Structure 1
């Protein structure tokens, strides 16, 4: 398998993971907003924490893709 093909497969897999993470973050936003409207901080705080963790994971995956692309350019 060529390096370009590996890069395409890797990028597609990471794109699917990021898209799934974004959907989960939207769901967490909905849950946390409903909790805020119910004055229930016990749900909003963990949802915000999980969303922050997912954001960090997505940022790490994006950084990995850029590093991989830079290494192919060399």
Structure 2
């Protein structure tokens, strides 16, 4: 049996990423992702076991914004 998937809307399930998966996308340490979440820079969800998970759509949006900002500052 698989774990239920979190949903941002009833019609569109959103994949949840671990801090390690988010860290790989941003090329930072997973602890950095945890600090970002604690500081409110990125939203997170807590699992029943207390682990953080991140909505893929939110992570990809933030990554796109940061990539766009970096490109436009050149």
TM-score by length of structure 2 reads: 0.33
Higher-Rg structure is 1
Higher RCO (C-alpha 8 Å, min separation 6): 1
| Between structures 1 and 2, the one with greater strand share | 2
| Between structures 1 and 2, the one with greater helix share | 1
TM-score by length of structure 1 reads: 0.33
